[in-house]
């Protein structure tokens, strides 16, 4: 009880001072210590967490926080990858609203716990969506799927599963990659290494560097692959390059782990965007796939995703499924019901599914149009440099190639918010705001040193 007594007695002294009557007549207690004294249950110790430092702002989510604080009427948020309409508004898909209505008006529905691995129909439909209707792996019942919390949750559960059960506890991730990948895998228990991916000189794929790094990596390691619309660069391998990558990976018995966050959102076609995953599955080998429905169904905040393990046999898939449960249970017990119910409703209804593909294509097309508008605007201003990568890259993001200083300049002078790696979310642009962005880029690129 004597520990920290000096800090505590200081506090008591302060309290005493405040409690003593304001009048000058001396209180009967002339010594401050007799007004208050220690009770055995009085607070004494300092916090158990005194020593904590403030955690660094998340680089991506921190951008929106900064944007929200800005009062400028021309401010532009090109940080987080959430789709916006031409009017700059969030977009809830019509099919999502329809599905929601059906769920609410169905009084036979309840809010009971889902199974640990989530809604079975959701799992089946999700696997079918990424692997294809006629996937041999599904036909042969070699796929086990668990509903997880969007892409992040699927990756984390996959990482913990691999750390527990896979012989090689190392994963190779591309440089650069989504800012959260490294922590997801390292906290999941894997060692993280990198392979070359983006070539800043061409603003395209460093294909030779990638293959070299994969060839010189140890056999059997896990390899993270962005299924399409690489985040943050927007640079994807061509089908021919995918085949080359596949050969190297299979020849070294490496285990592919696909992150599929943009199926349908990249090209506008669900099948085209699944090409890489299906290529690997068709060769009969094993792989993991983390799916997110955040972007392609606009269900960001509902945290809907799925982790699929494509295994060599049905019996392995069954066992793997039981082991996935052991990873999930101590993390959050079972997944949230709302978002996955919406997805299952849409995917399971022919008409809703059709409508969804149309809305998806419209979103993808709008982004592609923004790419072209921005490219034209920079050309019209005669902005120095080659800006073709804006229309060559695919998906929600463009890796502009702008430096950290240029990014800071654009934020300061033009109230344009993006991550410091120069990544801009095309989904945050509209035909009205493209000119402002083009002005900002032009100014950043042409400003003299020291200005």
Partner 1 sequence: MAYRSRLAFLLSSSTRRLATMEAAGNHGVPSSCRRFSWWSSVQPAPRDPILGVTSAYLADTHPDKVNVGVGAYRNDQGKPVVLECVREAERRIGGQELMEYLPMGGSAKYCELSVGLAYGEDAQVLKDKKVASVQALSGTGAVRLFADFIKRFRPESEAYLPMPTWSNHHNIFRDANVNQHTYRYYLASTRGLDFEGLKEDLKKAPNNSVILLHACAHNPTGVDPTPEQWKALSKLFKEKEHFPLFDMAYQGFASGDTQRDNQAIRIFLEDGHQLACAQSFAKSMGLYGQRIGCLSVVCDDAAQATVVKSQLEYIARPMYSSPPVHGSLLVATILSDSDLKTLWFKEVKDMADRIIGMRTALRKNLEDLGSKQNWEHITNQIGMFCYSGLTPEQVDRMTQEFHIYMTKNGRISMAGVTSGNVKYLANAIHEVTKA
How many C-beta atoms surround the C-beta of residue 314 within 10 A? 13
Q: Of 23, 24, 37, 50, which one interacts with partner 1 (CB under 8 A)?
A: 50
Which of 156/230 has CB closer to partner 1? 156
193 an active-site residue?
Answer: no
Q: In whole angstroms, what is the distance from residue 137 CA to residue 35 CA? A: 78
Catalytic residue (choose from 75, 178, 213, 273): 178
Q: How many residues bind partner 1 (CB under 8 A)?
A: 98
What's the farthest any 2 CA atoms get from each other in the chain? 93
Binders of partner 1 in range 189-228 (CB under 8 A) = 220
The least distance separating partner 1 from the CB of residue 99, rounded to whole angstroms, comes to 12
Which sign, positive or negative, has the C-alpha torsion 246, 250, 252, 255?
positive
Which of 31/54 has CB closer to partner 1? 54
**Contact yes or no for 418/232 (Cβ under 8 A):** no
DSSP per residue over 211-252, as a string? Answer: HHHHHHSPTT-EEEEESSS-TTT-----HHHHHHHHHHHHHT
The least distance separating partner 1 from the CB of residue 400, rounded to whole angstroms, comes to 23
79 binds partner 1 (CB under 8 A): no
136 binds partner 1 (CB under 8 A): yes
Which of 330/450 has CB closer to partner 1? 330
Catalytic residue (choose from 75, 213, 236, 295): 295
276 binds partner 1 (CB under 8 A): no
Answer whether the bond into residue 176 is a cis peptide, omega within 30°.
yes
2 binds partner 1 (CB under 8 A): no
Q: Of 285, 348, 385, 435, which one interacts with partner 1 (CB under 8 A)?
A: 285
Q: Of 183, 372, 379, 404, which one interacts with partner 1 (CB under 8 A)?
A: 183
DSSP per residue over 121-167, as a string? Answer: HHHHHHHHHHH-TT-HHHHTT-EEEEEESHHHHHHHHHHHHHHHH-S
Tokens at residue 256, please?
């592919």
Catalytic residue (choose from 213, 259, 321, 439): 259
Could you give the angle at the alpha carbon of 223 between the alpha carbons of 259 and 311, nearest 5°?
A: 75
19 binds partner 1 (CB under 8 A): no
Q: Of 301, 314, 358, 384, which one interacts with partner 1 (CB under 8 A)?
A: 301
61 binds partner 1 (CB under 8 A): yes
Using the rule CB under 8 A, give the single segment among 183-191, 192-200, 354-362, 387-395 that binds partner 1.
Answer: 183-191
7 binds partner 1 (CB under 8 A): no
The least distance separating partner 1 from the CB of residue 148, rounded to whole angstroms, comes to 8
Q: Of 43, 350, 448, 451, which one interacts with partner 1 (CB under 8 A)?
A: 43
Sequence-ordered list of residues with C-beta below 8 angstroms from that of 424, at least 6 positions apart, any chain? 78, 397, 398, 400, 418, 437
Which of 145/400 has CB closer to partner 1? 145
The least distance separating partner 1 from the CB of residue 160, rounded to whole angstroms, comes to 8
Q: In whole angstroms, what is the distance from residue 24 CA to residue 91 CA? A: 68
Burial of 181 (0-12, 13-18, 19+ CB in 10 A): buried
37 binds partner 1 (CB under 8 A): no
DSSP 8-state assignment for residue 45: S
365 an active-site residue?
Answer: no
Q: Of 70, 86, 100, 349, which one interacts with partner 1 (CB under 8 A)?
A: 100
Nearest to 169 by CA among 245, 255, 248: 255
Which of 401/428 has CB closer to partner 1? 428
356 an active-site residue?
Answer: no
Residues belonging to the active site: 178, 259, 295
């Amino acid at each position: 009880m004597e520990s920290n007594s000096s800090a505590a007695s200081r506090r008591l002294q302060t309290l005493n001072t405040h409690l003593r009557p304001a009048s000058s007549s001396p209180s009967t207690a002339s010594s401050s210590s007799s007004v208050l004294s220690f009770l055995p249950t009085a607070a004494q110790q300092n916090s158990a967490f005194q020593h904590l430092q403030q955690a660094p702002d998340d680089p991506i989510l921190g951008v929106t926080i900064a944007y929200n604080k800005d009062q400028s009427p021309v401010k532009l948020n090109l940080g987080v990858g959430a789709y916006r309409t031409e009017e700059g508004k969030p977009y809830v898909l019509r099919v999502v609203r329809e599905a929601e209505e059906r769920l609410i008006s169905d009084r036979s529905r309840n809010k009971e716990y889902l199974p640990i691995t989530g809604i079975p129909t959701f799992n089946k439909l999700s696997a079918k969506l990424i692997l294809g209707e006629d996937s041999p792996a599904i036909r042969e019942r070699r796929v086990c799927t668990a509903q997880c919390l969007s892409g992040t949750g699927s990756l984390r559960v996959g990482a913990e599963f691999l750390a527990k059960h896979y012989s090689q506890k190392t994963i190779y991730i591309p440089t650069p990659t989504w800012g959260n990948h490294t922590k997801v895998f390292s906290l999941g228990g894997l060692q993280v290494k990198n392979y070359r991916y983006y070539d800043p000189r061409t603003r395209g794929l460093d294909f030779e560097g990638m293959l070299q790094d994969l060839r010189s990596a140890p056999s059997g390691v896990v390899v993270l692959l962005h299924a399409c619309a690489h985040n943050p660069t927007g640079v994807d391998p061509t089908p021919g390059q995918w085949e080359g990558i596949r050969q190297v990976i299979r020849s070294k018995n490496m285990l592919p782990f696909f992150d599929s966050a943009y199926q349908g959102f990249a090209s506008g076609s669900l099948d085209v965007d699944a090409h890489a995953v299906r290529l690997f599955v068709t060769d009969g080998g094993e792989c993991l796939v983390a799916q997110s429905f955040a972007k392609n169904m606009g269900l960001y905040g509902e945290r809907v995703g799925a982790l699929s393990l494509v295994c060599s046999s049905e019996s392995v898939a069954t066992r793997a499924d039981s082991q996935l449960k052991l990873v999930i249970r101590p993390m959050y017990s079972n997944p949230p019901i709302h978002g996955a119910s919406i997805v299952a409703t849409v995917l399971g209804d022919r008409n809703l599914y059709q409508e969804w593909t149309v809305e998806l294509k419209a979103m993808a097309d709008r982004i592609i149009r923004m790419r072209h508008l921005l490219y034209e605007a920079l050309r019209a201003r005669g902005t120095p440099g080659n800006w073709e990568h804006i229309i060559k890259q695919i998906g929600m993001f463009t890796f502009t190639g702008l430096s950290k200083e240029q990014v800071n300049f654009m934020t300061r002078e033009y109230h344009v918010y993006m991550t410091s790696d120069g990544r801009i979310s095309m989904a945050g642009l509209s035909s009205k705001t493209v000119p402002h962005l083009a002005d900002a880029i032009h100014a950043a690129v042409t400003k003299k040193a020291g200005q």
